[in-house]
């Protein structure tokens, strides 16, 4: 079928803010979809609330609306734009839910707007458990015995009949929120109760547990002519029982016989045909390791996290093809852009192994429950490619950017066998390292397979890694062993550790013996056809497929897996930098390892190296490509941290010099700079004994901020108000010594502001000043920010501009820099300088119209601000008011305190823009899904210091007609202030208290 | 809606955390900074009329 001509204008719905379970993969798929539709000549209107995405760039669609993804706002855009159709299947669950809501509201019928791609009936059939089970029965596809329960008693009755353990899966919740495995009635009652509450249709599926089965995924595609094909199959290292988003995953399937693969492939294709999917679809299956019995676990009738992974694992652009199918093209009519010679119906073949490891937020949330189960907890993922499993898993570990760079976690050596067993049986995020430790202690892989149900094949690979490590330990400088180790993914650093040498010594030996990596192409067809994709991975084999071109090149380092504090914003800046490099006439080369994002789409840069971001791996690419230089300022802290070691090895760092980066990042060096410039900053000191700390605090004057380097029981940072509290805190909450000093700073109350500056060494452009809603003390990433600043006086603004200029020039900034200020009594103090692109670059770029990362890249490549048409100083401010609001994923994680403080906790952001501040604020709350009802009850529980301020706030709520509830202490204060208040119980009564609230 | 800023008063700290976690698990809008509450009030006030007895 040729493309549809009855449709001219198409609206694409994005996935909104990044939360656990719905992340950057939808920026990638949405961007691909918009570009594919534009390529076919359609007019594309995009709606998304997330400013930190490439898909919301003006260039991606004809019209871009950054508006809340709610019925009201999307309807308004529909009425204004009057599109002929909506494409909802590329914006994750949020996109689908939005389409359902629009359809239910009747607006689509009223305006005769069509839904493209898979129709809603099929989507419901895949997502509604009962309809799905019925379909599977009709298709004779086995599903685990299960019952749909609307009450806890129904759930318990099923389990009593069919036995424990059972899995609880709430209907229509994201990332499996609220699900779990119950081994007994008490657990079942607790999980089912919570699941029923969280499900918007008060429905949970109680399912016979198939935990321990092999978990297999198929990414399949189908068009309207019923052509269907498999893009990629994948096997989870972790058997059924752990959410696939929290599982280590390999592609292709590793432990199944051909018969088994074909059986499951047939099942997946049968299902996608029966559902009449038009586009991409993900089918999850469970296979009994001891028989040919299998079960269908789940079907996602849309592109998903797994499809992004499958796209990057195979090179096959699933979202791009899905968008084309949605407008009527068939698989045998769509060219595979990777080969340029085959059609999209050609199934990719892999001649390598891909490994994905999730990235969890437990380094930030140290007290969180780290147990893995049916509820996804990871914020991001890293992917690695090599010719064997050992290589791909070791590279993936290095790509995670955690404390460990290999399998051997020295801290686990202190565990007792019982503790070790516990960590192996009850999977946490770090089980991989527990397994390695067990192998070190001589556990047999048979025993480990029995304990974990992980296939012995995978465990044997871990054993192989251990055997190589042990052989290395015995064979120092043995070149043959070195070659074997490199072929199996060992890093120079890992080998150096085993040999008691430095990584450079290992490297020298390696290079001397010509053990250097070659780069293989990811071409979707295992070399069967000619292919031009510039997408490479390293391996220690013979034939190099990556040829250095004659064009001068620039290497850009990406930011690796998404984590709290280093989100998709840095991928945004990376992609923009690459655009500018291409425009400037250089060959652009990206190194990154995040399969979810736009930067690792092989069509973005001239060359893509999918590699860990380590000194060794970056140097290997540099040795081959000999770029003009390396850009590190857009890839967050991951890339910045590589600047110094790369410079030491003679690599040219483009932009701000390494010495200047250090002057901004080192506390002492920075103190000197700021003193020299005479810029005010909060006074501070360092103490290494309790007495010193108290003396220091007394000298500074309270309140102060204390930042210990070693925490016993308190929070990492604390604001302390008086001497008695300080003594108590120092004695009980922290450990202080010469090795673990405590930083003490004056705590200034006041407005917090933030600027991103672009400097060419002569002129300094300040695109905008952002004013935070929350006062100092809340991490800037968790604060709401307003642009343009609303309450700053001209004097304060002038000071900010002056200090920004002085700091940028003094610190030799070439490119981007981020500075945070506190305004205290009309006086501006500098609290932090980051000599790199910051989290606010996408937001500010969008609201000011200045493509900051591109302007900065042009400067880095030698084009001054003046040449680019920019003047020094603050850019003209916009008429609209824009609010950036943080979005959190607390409901996905247990035992994480949601109280905002100096440590960042948010996972994503939204933006609201309008003509007045209150309208913009309203939109940002709506976009963040913090819908505040216009009447009802408000429960106040505030600390003593906040009580006076609370009186006034509560009074205003009461004036608006809200009922005020408060816990005892707060209620007393409110009563005293004359605010009508109902006192509610405190400890142990939170359930009844909440019931009261929900009535 | 829940407004909760309890942090460092030892005996009430657990309470604060429990109320916060209950609010989150029941999807009740939760605010832990009075500045955010002020912003919410600004929105609500701009959307509503004032009713006052004489």
For A250-280, how does the pLDDT look when each residue is reduced to its tens digit (9 = 90+)?
Answer: 999 999 999 999 999 999 999 999 999 999 9
A916 vs B contacts (CB less than 8 Å): 46
Q: Is A789 exposed, middle or buried (0-12, 13-18, 19+ CB in 10 A)?
A: buried
Is A511 in CB contact (< 8 Å) with chain B? no
Average pLDDT over residues A688-714: 80
* A994 pLDDT more than 70: no
- Name the residue among B15, B22, B40 with its Cβ closest to that of A925: B40
The pLDDT assigned to A205 comes to 87
* A392 pLDDT more than 60: yes
Q: How far is A562 from chain B (nearest CA, A)?
A: 23
How many CA within 13 A on the CB side of residue A466?
22
B48 vs A contacts (CB less than 8 Å): 934, 960-961
* A438 pLDDT more than 90: yes
Q: Which of the four pLDDT bands, split at 50, 70 and 90, describes residue A940?
A: very high
The pLDDT assigned to A481 comes to 97
* A27 pLDDT more than 90: yes
The phi and psi torsions of A467 (rounded to 5 degrees) equal -65, -40
Q: Quick one: CA dihedral A289, A294, A295, A301, positive or negative?
A: positive
Whether residue B28 and residue A900 make contact (CB cut-off 8 A), yes or no, is no
Per-residue model confidence as pLDDT tens digits over A393-428: 999 999 999 989 999 999 999 999 999 999 999 999
Q: Which of the four pLDDT bands, split at 50, 70 and 90, describes residue B11?
A: low
Residue of A193, A786, A932 to mutate when probing chain B, most B C-beta within 10 A: A932
Per-residue model confidence as pLDDT tens digits over A863-902: 999 999 999 999 999 999 999 999 999 888 877 888 888 8
Residue of A197, A369, A938, A980 to mutate when probing chain B, most B C-beta within 10 A: A938
Whether residue A934 and residue B47 make contact (CB cut-off 8 A), yes or no, is yes
Per-residue model confidence as pLDDT tens digits over A739-755: 778 888 898 888 999 99
The pLDDT assigned to B17 comes to 82
How are strands ordered across the β-sheet holding A279-287? A294-300, A279-287, A214-222, A228-236, A249-251, A353-359, A380-386
The Cα A347–Cα A220 span in angstroms is 10
Provide the whole-model pTM: 0.94
- Name the residue among A900, A922, A986 with its Cβ closest to that of B43: A922
For residue A75, how many other CB atoms are within 10 A of its CB?
16
Whether residue A773 and residue B3 make contact (CB cut-off 8 A), yes or no, is no
Is A919 in CB contact (< 8 Å) with chain B? yes
Average pLDDT over residues A442-448: 97
* Cβ proximity of A808 and A759 under 8 Å: yes
Per-residue model confidence as pLDDT tens digits over A296-351: 998 999 999 999 999 999 999 999 999 999 999 999 999 887 777 888 888 998 99
* Residue A230, CA distances (Å) to A217, A292, A979 in order: 10, 21, 65
Percent of chain A with pLDDT over 70: 97
How many CA within 13 A on the CB side of residue A546?
26
Q: Which of the four pLDDT bands, split at 50, 70 and 90, describes residue A714?
A: very low
The pLDDT assigned to A993 comes to 64
* B10 pLDDT more than 60: no
What's chain B's length in residues?
54
Is A477 in CB contact (< 8 Å) with chain B? no
Least confident of A484-488, A698-702, A917-921, A994-998: A994-998
- Name the residue among B12, B41, B46 with its Cβ closest to that of A956: B41
Size of interface A-B (CB pairs under 8 A): 147
- Name the residue among A775, A918, A986 with its Cβ closest to that of B43: A918
Residue of A732, A945, A957 to mutate when probing chain B, most B C-beta within 10 A: A957
* A989 pLDDT more than 80: no
Mean pLDDT of chain A: 92
The pLDDT assigned to A578 comes to 98
The pLDDT assigned to A367 comes to 80
The pLDDT assigned to A306 comes to 94
Can you tell me the ipTM of this complex?
Answer: 0.93
* In chain A, residues 873-902 whose CB comes closer than 8 Å to chain B: 890-891, 897-901
Q: How far is B49 from chain A (nearest CA, A)?
A: 8
Whether residue B39 and residue A944 make contact (CB cut-off 8 A), yes or no, is no
Whether residue A940 and residue B3 make contact (CB cut-off 8 A), yes or no, is yes
**Closest-approach residue (CA) in chain A for B50:** A960
Residue of B11, B17, B40 to mutate when probing chain A, most A C-beta within 10 A: B40
Whether residue B32 and residue A898 make contact (CB cut-off 8 A), yes or no, is yes
How many CA within 13 A on the CB side of residue A646?
30
A981 vs B contacts (CB less than 8 Å): none
Whether residue B6 and residue A998 make contact (CB cut-off 8 A), yes or no, is no
* In chain A, residues 698-727 whose CB comes closer than 8 Å to chain B: 718, 725
- Name the residue among A900, A918, A942 with its Cβ closest to that of B6: A942
3-state secondary structure A316-384: CCHHHHHHHHHCCCCCCCCECCCCCCCECCCCCECCCEEEEEEECCCCCCCCCCCECCCCCCCCEEEEE
Tokens of A898: 């949601």
The Cα A391–Cα A397 span in angstroms is 10
* A711 pLDDT more than 70: no
The pLDDT assigned to A713 comes to 47
A944 vs B contacts (CB less than 8 Å): 9
Average pLDDT over residues A450-459: 97
Is A998 in CB contact (< 8 Å) with chain B? yes
Per-residue model confidence as pLDDT tens digits over B17-44: 888 888 887 788 999 999 999 999 999 9
Whether residue A774 and residue B22 make contact (CB cut-off 8 A), yes or no, is no
**Closest-approach residue (CA) in chain A for B33:** A774
The pLDDT assigned to A705 comes to 86
End-to-end Cα separation, chain A, in angstroms: 55
Per-residue model confidence as pLDDT tens digits over A99-149: 999 999 999 999 999 999 888 888 888 888 789 989 999 999 999 888 889
Average pLDDT over residues A201-223: 92
End-to-end Cα separation, chain B, in angstroms: 29
Q: Which of the four pLDDT bands, split at 50, 70 and 90, describes residue A71?
A: very high
* In chain A, residues 455-474 whose CB comes closer than 8 Å to chain B: none
Average pLDDT over residues A506-521: 96
Query: Which H or E run contains B2?
Result: strand B2-4
Taking Cα atoms as reference points, which of A910, A909, A881 lies closest to residue A787? A881
* Residue A559, CA distances (Å) to A98, A598, A640, A720 in order: 31, 12, 9, 35
Per-residue model confidence as pLDDT tens digits over A594-637: 999 999 999 999 999 999 999 999 999 999 999 999 999 999 99
Q: Which of the four pLDDT bands, split at 50, 70 and 90, describes residue A156?
A: very high
Residue A413: DSSP 8-state: G
* Cβ proximity of A432 and A248 under 8 Å: yes
Report how far Cα A405 is from the mean position of its chain's Cα atoms. 20
Whether residue A944 and residue B9 make contact (CB cut-off 8 A), yes or no, is yes
The pLDDT assigned to B9 comes to 52
SS3 A232: strand
Per-residue model confidence as pLDDT tens digits over A466-494: 999 999 999 999 999 999 999 999 999 99
- Name the residue among B12, B26, B32 with its Cβ closest to that of A899: B32
Residue of A941, A963, A991 to mutate when probing chain B, most B C-beta within 10 A: A941
The pLDDT assigned to A229 comes to 96
* In chain A, residues 47-76 whose CB comes closer than 8 Å to chain B: none
């Amino acid at each position: 079928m040729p493309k549809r001509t009855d449709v001219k204008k198409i609206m694409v719905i994005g996935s909104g803010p990044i939360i656990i379970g719905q992340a950057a993969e939808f920026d990638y798929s949405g961007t691909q979809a918009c570009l594919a539709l534009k390529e076919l000549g359609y007019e594309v209107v995009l709606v998304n609330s997330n400013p930190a995405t490439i898909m919301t760039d003006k260039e991606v669609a004809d019209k871009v609306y950054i508006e809340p993804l709610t019925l009201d706002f999307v309807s308004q855009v529909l009425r204004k734009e009057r599109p002929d159709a909506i494409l909802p299947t590329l914006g994750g669950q949020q996109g689908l839910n939005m389409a359902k809501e629009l359809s239910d509201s009747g607006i689509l019928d009223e305006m005769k707007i069509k839904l493209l791609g898979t129709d809603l009936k099929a989507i419901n059939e895949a997502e509604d458990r009962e309809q799905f089970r019925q379909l599977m029965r009709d298709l004779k596809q086995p599903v685990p015995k299960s019952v749909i329960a609307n009450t806890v008693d129904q759930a318990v009755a099923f389990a009593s009949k069919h036995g424990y353990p059972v899995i609880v899966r709430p209907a229509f919740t994201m990332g499996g929120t609220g699900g779990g495995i119950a081994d007994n009635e008490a657990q079942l009652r607790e999980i089912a109760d919570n699941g029923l509450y969280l499900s918007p249709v008060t429905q949970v599926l109680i399912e016979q547990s198939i935990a321990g089965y092999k978990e297999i995924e198929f990414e399949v595609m189908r068009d309207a002519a019923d052509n269907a094909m498999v893009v990629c199959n994948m096997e989870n290292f972790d058997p059924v029982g752990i959410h696939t988003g929290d599982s280590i995953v390999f592609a292709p399937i590793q432990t199944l016989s051909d018969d088994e693969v074909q059986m499951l492939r047939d099942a997946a294709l049968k299902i996608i045909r029966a559902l009449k999917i038009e586009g991409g679809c993900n089918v999850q299956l469970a296979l009994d390791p001891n028989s040919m019995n299998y079960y269908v676990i789940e079907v996602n009738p849309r592109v998903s996290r797994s499809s992004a992974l499958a796209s990057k694992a195979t090179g096959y652009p699933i979202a791009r093809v899905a968008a084309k199918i949605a407008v009527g093209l068939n698989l045998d009519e769509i060219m595979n852009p990777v080969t340029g010679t085959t059609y999209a119906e050609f199934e990719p073949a892999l001649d390598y192994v891909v490994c994905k490891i999730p990235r969890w937020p437990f380094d930030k949330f140290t007290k969180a429950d780290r147990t893995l189960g049916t509820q996804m907890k990871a914020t991001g993922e890293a992917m690695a490619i090599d010719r064997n499993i050992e290589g791909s898993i070791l590279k993936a570990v290095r790509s995670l950017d955690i404390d460990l760079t290999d399998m051997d976690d020295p801290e686990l050596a202190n565990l007792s066998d019982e503790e070790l067993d516990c960590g192996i049986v009850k999977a946490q995020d770090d089980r991989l390292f527990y397994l390695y430790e067990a192998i070190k202690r001589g556990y047999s892989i048979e025993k480990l397979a029995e304990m974990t149900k992980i296939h012995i094949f995978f465990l044997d690979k871990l054993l192989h890694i251990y055997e190589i490590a042990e052989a290395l330990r015995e064979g120092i400088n043995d070149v043959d062993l070195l070659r074997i180790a490199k072929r199996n993914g060992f890093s120079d650093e890992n080998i150096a550790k085993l040999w008691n040498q430095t990584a450079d010594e290992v490297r020298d030996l390696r290079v001397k013996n010509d053990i250097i990596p070659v780069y293989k192409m990811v071409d979707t067809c295992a070399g069967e056809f000619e292919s031009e994709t510039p997408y490479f991975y390293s391996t220690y084999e013979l034939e190099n497929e990556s040829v250095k071109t004659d064009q001068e090149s620039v290497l850009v380092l990406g930011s690796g897996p998404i984590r709290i504090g280093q989100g998709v914003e840095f991928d945004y800046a990376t992609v923009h930098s690459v655009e500018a490099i291409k425009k400037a006439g250089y060959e652009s080369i990206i190194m990154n390892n995040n399969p979810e994002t736009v930067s690792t789409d092989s069509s973005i840069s001239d060359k893509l190296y999918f590699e860990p971001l380590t000194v060794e791996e970056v140097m290997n690419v540099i040795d081959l490509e000999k770029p003009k230089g390396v850009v590190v300022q857009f890839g967050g802290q991951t890339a910045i941290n590589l600047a110094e070691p790369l410079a030491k090895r003679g690599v040219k760092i483009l932009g701000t010099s390494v010495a200047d980066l250090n002057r901004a990042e080192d506390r002492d060096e920075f103190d000197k700079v700021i003193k020299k410039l005479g810029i005010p900053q909060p006074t501070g000191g360092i103490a290494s004994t309790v007495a010193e700390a108290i003396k220091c605090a007394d000298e500074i004057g309270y309140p102060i901020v204390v930042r210990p380097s070693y925490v016993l029981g308190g929070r990492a940072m604390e604001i302390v108000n008086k001497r008695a509290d300080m003594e108590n805190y120092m004695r009980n909450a922290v450990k202080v010594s010469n090795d673990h000093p405590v930083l003490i700073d004056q705590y200034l109350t006041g407005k917090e502001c933030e600027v991103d500056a672009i400097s060419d060494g002569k002129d300094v452009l300040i695109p905008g000043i952002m004013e935070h809603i929350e006062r100092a003390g809340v991490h800037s990433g968790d604060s709401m920010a307003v642009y343009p600043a609303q309450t700053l006086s001209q004097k304060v603004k002038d000071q900010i501009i002056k200090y920004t200029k002085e700091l940028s020039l003094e610190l030799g900034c070439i490119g981007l820099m981020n500075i945070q200020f506190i305004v205290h009594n009309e006086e501006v103090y500098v609290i932090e300088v980051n000599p790199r692109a910051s989290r606010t670059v996408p937001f500010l770029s969008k609201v000011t119209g200045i493509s900051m990362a591109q302007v900065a890249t042009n400067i880095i490549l030698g084009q001054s601000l003046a040449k680019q048409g920019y003047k020094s100083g603050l850019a003209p401010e916009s008429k609209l008011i824009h609010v950036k609001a943080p979005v959190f994923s607390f409901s996905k994680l247990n035992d994480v305190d949601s109280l905002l403080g100096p440590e960042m906790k948010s996972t994503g952001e939204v933006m609201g823009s309008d003509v007045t501040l209150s309208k913009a604020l309203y939109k940002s709350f709506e976009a963040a899904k913090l819908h505040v009802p216009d009447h009802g009850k408000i429960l106040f529980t505030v600390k003593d210091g906040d009580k006076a301020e609370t009186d006034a706030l509560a009074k205003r709520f009461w004036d608006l007609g809200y009922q005020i509830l408060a816990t005892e202490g707060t209620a007393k204060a409110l009563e005293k202030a004359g605010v009508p208040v109902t006192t509610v119980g405190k400890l142990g009564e939170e359930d009844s208290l909440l019931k009261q609230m929900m009535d | 809606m829940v407004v909760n800023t309890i942090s460092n008063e030892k005996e009430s700290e657990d309470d604060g955390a429990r109320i916060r976690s209950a609010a989150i698990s029941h999807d009740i809008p939760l605010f832990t900074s009075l500045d955010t509450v002020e912003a919410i009030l600004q929105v609500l006030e701009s959307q509503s009329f004032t009713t006052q007895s004489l």
